[in-house]
Structure 1
Amino acid sequence: MMNEKKTDLPYLMRQYPGLEKIPWIHLIDSPTPVEKLIGLEKELDFKGIYIKRDDLTNPEYGGNKPRKFEFLLGRALKRKKKHILTMGGIGSNHCVANSMFCKQLGLKSVVFLQNQPLTDHVRKNLLLELFYEAKIVHKKTEAGLGTAMIWYMLTHWRSYLIWAGGSNKIGTIGYVNAAFELKKQIDDGIFPEPDFIFTTTGSSGTTAGLLLGCELAGLKSKIIGITVSSEQWASRKRVLDLARKCLAYLRRFDTKIPEIPLSKLENRLEMNTNYFGGTYGIVTDKGQYAVDLIKKTDNIELETTYTGKTLSGLMSFIEKYRDSLQDKTILFINSFSSADQTEKVKKMDYRSLDGKLHRYFDGRIPLSKKVVKIDSNFKNS
């Protein structure tokens, strides 16, 4: 922590002062706004839809990642690490965020990437990693990635590994804190307490943090995680496991934090796998429709890998349970960065990337045009 005033501390630390011992750096503009989605409400003929604008967490690169990096990079800096390693698909937002914050903090970002369906968004993120001077290591298999990471860490002793999506017990704290931020906004009368919070579940840390945070903050909200990756990364079991590990870690610093029975977390959490599409990064018809619709109704930018799928789940939820949702409040967490990166991307020439990555730009690998059709009926998993 860098000599922050008490009023600048994360909301979680203000509630539990013992947590001030946890390494943390100030990266986000907090609180992020909560707004009513008036246009979408009109389109769906439903009142009570709000959006948490976490796309605005940081002016250069927003979304859910900056909340996690406040704690992840705080820990790395305290341990005097210089090389920050992480992993993801070739279009990973997390890897871009890692590279951006590392450049700001004078650290070296090393990103280990593997394939996903090629889209314009994938190309943009590869060029952003070039802009932020990341070292890019591309492998075809997870085994290849693992071997390359181990070798890098053995040959660079001041390396620090951040797990995919920043989702471990440390990164999860970022969204425990976000729940306390929501509690303050509710108490201040900015919006009514949500009955349901819809969040994207890619590597599970955001969902786990909100789950634990809402329980600790005393909110009634049920957490609905829409999965956008395979069960290895996004599952009910993984979310609950991350929440429990994060709770145990927090209680090491402040014993005033209560123990929480697993049953309480289980009863608050609902996971839905029906909007994933079967392959990480694949475009779904419902996800694309949701992206296009909210751009038209409320001028909100989403994308098809993560947040578009989550919004499509929210819309199907309203469609199926409309009668029982009267007078209920639904909150959508926008975890996609809305920062305009156009000028940065324009400055980059893909030919400055490693030659093995040129195929993603020169036509040897065509842009994916595959769109998976999803059953629009919301089904609990």
Structure 2
Amino acid sequence: MSLSPLFNAYPALQKLIPLVDIPGQQIPTPVTHSLDTPQLWLKHDDLTNAVYGGNKSRKLAFIFGKMQAEGKTRLLTFGGTGTNHGVACAVHSKALGIDCEILLFDQPESESVRKNLQVMQRYGATLRYCGSLLNTVLRFYTLQIHDRLLRRKQTEYLFAGGSSLQGVIAFIDAAFELREQIERGECPVPETIICPVGSSATLAGLTLGVALAGLPSRVIGVRVAPAHLGPFPACTVATVKQLMQKTQQYLLRLQGGIPPFNIPQPVMLDQYYGAGYGVASAAGNQAEQWFRKQRWADGLTVQSECTYTAKALATLRDELATANGPVLYWHTLNSVQGIYSEAEAV
């Protein structure tokens, strides 16, 4: 694996932060611009891996690195029945010989949900259906506490969406990757960077990374997951900032050359969430149709979907209407479709 941009900037971190080369990984991901909307730029994190892309594959390189360094051989995580995170975990765990178990909570049925379930099953993940999101989270933490009491250490308990210190570090690294692309003249400095927010690590990492890399861009996250699980905050500005603070403290403790730096206030919009997790919205549907018609300078086809991505695209469309400079959409949805064709053929 080529040296990460974060390690390029702070070489001492290479020996302090484990990173693995997942088979098929193709990072850095390219940037391109729309031929139809001059201010619109796209970061191709839909192509992070040749087998299965998206932002989860970027995070898992650091998460699996931590697991290997600690001698862990089993991954347990959770998500909705159509979880993209679960697909990424199943696919890349199999490639690295890691056992994968996924706790699933109910979400509205759709074609993408059906296909994702097929892929997770085909790649050998153990699937446990837990009903509601709250029940799933309680099961996740109960199993984790049980293992700790029995001093079992072979399992990595990974929060939904890869929301962990390693997941945040992956997107700090991604911000430095963007800075290198700007320095090479591959894209202009964005006025605004927009990404969807489910488990918070992508927004937390990009916000920290942009500040640490010295980029003047404003990072905007669009909430697409529930803000609270019962009385507990799950996807709020406060939870994002808490994750940023934990990551900053961890990086400074490593003493890898990163100087003390201020944590910026994360920006997360709630008004595009709509009726619920996995539920399509009218604004999202319109934005997705607009996005599908965009022609990209690199000629590549970009995937979208009507729930998670579409809500961020609605924000993107509104932001472009008032922007004075380039707007970069950080595309976190997988666009590699081979595994779905394979699953349909079985």
Distance in 2 between residues matched to 1:10 and 1:157, nearest whole Å: 28
Q: Structure 1: where are the runs of 5+ without partners?
A: 42-46, 349-381
**TM superposition shift of 1:242:** 1.3
Q: Give 1:144 shift.
A: 5.1
Matched, 1:333 2:330: yes
| CA drift at 1:148 | 6.2
Is the contact between residue 113 and residue 145 of structure 1 (CA under 8 Å) also seen in structure 2? no
Give the conservation status (yes or no) of the 8 Å contact 1:16–1:254: no
User: 2:308 matched to which residue of 1?
Assistant: 306
Counterpart in the other structure of 1:237: 238
Which portions of structure 1, spanning 4 or more consecutive aligned residues, are displaced by more than 6 angstroms? none
Please give the alpha-carbon distance, in whole angstroms, between the structure 1 residues aligned to 2:340 and 2:70.
35
Distance 1:76 1:144 in 2: 23
Alignment of 1:161-176 (within 5 A): 161-176=157-172
* Structure 2 residue 185 is matched with structure 1 residue 192: no
Change (3 A) 1:203 1:151: closer
1:378 aligns with none
Give the counterpart of 1:90 among 62, 67, 81. 81
Which residue matches 1:208?
204
| 1:178 counterpart SS class | helix
Separation in 2, partners of 1:190, 1:106: 36
Conserved 8 A contact 1:167-1:205: yes
Indicate the residue corresponding to 1:374 in structure 2.
Answer: none
Is 1:316 paired with 2:318? Answer: yes
Once the two structures are TM-superposed, the CA of residue 72 in structure 1 deviates from its matched residue by: 0.7
**TM-score normalised by the chain length of structure 1:** 0.82
Separation of aligned partners in 2, 1:157 and 1:258:
33
**1:124 and 2:76 correspond:** no
Determine the C-alpha separation between the residues in 2 that align with 1:271 and 1:146. Answer: 26
| Aligned with residue 343 of structure 1, among 330, 341, 344 | 341
Shift of 1:252: 2.0
Q: Hey, what's the Cα distance between the residues in 2 that align with 1:162 and 1:13?
A: 24
Q: CA shift at 1:193, angstroms?
A: 0.3
Q: Secondary structure at the match of 2:206?
A: helix
Please report how far the alpha carbon of residue 145 of structure 1 lies from its aligned counterpart in structure 2 after TM superposition: 5.0
Given candidates 282, 294, 297, the residue that maps to 1:297 is 294
Deviation at 1:293, TM superposition (A): 2.1
Paired position in structure 1 for 2:142? 150
- Answer yes or no: is the 8 Å Cα contact 2:107–2:277 preserved in 1: yes
Residues 246-288 of structure 1: CA deviation (Å, up to 9, x unaligned): 11111222353122224xx01xx32211111131110111212
- Structure 2: state its 5+ residue gaps: 228-232, 296-300
Larger radius of gyration: 1
Distance 1:144 1:182 in 2: 36
Letter in 2 for 1:11: P
Hey, what does 1:352 align to over in structure 2?
none
Candidates 90, 93, 97, aligned match of 1:106? 97
- Counterpart CA distance in 2 for 1:335 and 1:317 is 18
Q: 2:285: which partner in 1?
A: 288
What amino acid is aligned across from residue 4 of structure 2 in structure 1? P
Alignment length, in residue pairs?
A: 327
**Match for 1:275 among 253, 272, 278?**
272
Query: Is 181-190 or 294-303 further displaced after alignment?
Result: 294-303
Query: Cα 1:48–1:140, aligned 2, differ >3 Å: closer, same or farther?
Result: same
SS in 1 for 2:305: coil
CA distance in 2, matches of 1:245, 1:87: 22
In 2, the alpha carbon distance for the partners of 1:148 and 1:216 equals: 33
Question: Which of 39, 61, 79 is equivalent to 1:70?
Answer: 61
| Percent identity for Structure 1 against Structure 2 | 33
What amino acid sits opposite 2:21 in the alignment?
H
What is the alpha-carbon root mean square deviation over aligned residues? 1.8
Q: For structure 1, which segment, 301-310 or 122-131, has the greater mean C-alpha deviation from structure 2 after superposition?
A: 301-310
